Amino acid sequence: AMHRRIESQLEHAPASDWRIIHLGDYVDRGPDSKRVIDFLIEARKRDPRNIMLAGNHDIGMLEFMAHAEPDGLFMNYGGVQTAQSYGVE
């Protein structure tokens, strides 16, 4: 919804230079992490002025992917839901 509002504003009052900055924690904050990540990837493809900054939860996921700890912080706080959003049971 926010992206639609920003796009509408830019159509109404074009700016010569703008950025949309996303402030991390895209994963393990609900049941649809994959959809959030896919949305951000597509937004970046549409326009490189969409900037995504990793939050500590996103870094935790990357660390888990590099060195999986089944009982680590990521898996105990949202990692299961994140995996399920990607179809992993």
Catalytic residue numbers read 57
d(Cα 85, Cα 50) in Å, to the nearest integer?
Answer: 23
- The region that residue 69 occupies, defined by phi over 0 for left and psi between -120 and 50 for alpha, beta otherwise, is beta
Phi, psi of 64 (to 5 degrees): -65, -40
2 CB burial (10 A radius; 0-12, 13-18, 19+): exposed
